[in-house]
Amino acid sequence: MLRTKDLKDGDESCFRRVFEQYHQKLYFFILHKTRSEYIAEEVVQMAFTKLWQCRQTLKEEYTISTQLFRIASTILIDLLRKHQKKDAVTARLDSMEIEEGIDSTNEKMSGAELQKRITKAVNDLPPVRKQVFEMSREQGMSYREIAETLCVSSKTVETHIYKALKQIKKHIV
């Protein structure tokens, strides 16, 4: 019998049994939802990784399968949202018209200077705040994804981002 407590305690044989018992079921569940083998494989891999990484936060009152499928559903939703955002940004950029005849040399110089200041400001952030900021801005992760990866609350992630932006703004102005 698979017990959440065993998994929470870091029992690798329990994790292997969970993997063997639910891998295929989870894969077909996601495949049915997405009709994409690639997405199903990615989500399943991410779900098992997340299950192991955050095993200490599992709730013993819920079955392992319930928590695993909930993790996978959350990952799938975040993944679909991320792709939807990227598609919207790409469409918006494609629809923008580039104005010709603008002397952009000064703009590029000020843009390069601004980027240098931003980079310095980001490097001056405390380590955890910097990590959260980079996960959000450079890797495009949602607050929920960051929270799950770092095993902290979404509110903590939000606070780190707020403080990081405030500190960066001070460096730039």
Helix (H) or strand (E) holding 92: helix 64-95
For each of the chain's 173 residues, which pLDDT tens digit applies?
A: 788 888 888 889 999 999 999 999 999 999 998 888 888 999 999 999 999 998 888 888 989 999 999 999 998 888 888 777 665 655 555 555 444 444 444 455 466 777 788 888 888 888 888 888 888 887 888 888 888 888 888 888 888 888 888 888 887 76
Query: What pLDDT, on the 0 to 100 scale, is given for residue 47?
Result: 93
pTM of full prediction above 0.75: no
Query: What pLDDT, on the 0 to 100 scale, is given for residue 92?
Result: 56
Query: What pLDDT, on the 0 to 100 scale, is given for residue 97?
Result: 44
Query: What pLDDT, on the 0 to 100 scale, is given for residue 133?
Result: 86
What CA–CA distance (Å, rounded) separates 135 from 146? 7
Per-residue three-class SS string for 108-164: HHHHHHHHHHHHHHHHCCCHHHHHHHHHHHCCCCCHHHHHHHHCCCHHHHHHHHHHH
Domains assigned to the chain: 4-95 (1.10.1740.10), 116-172 (1.10.10.10)
Query: What pLDDT, on the 0 to 100 scale, is given for residue 91?
Result: 58
Contact status, residue 160 vs residue 132, Cβ threshold 8 Å: yes
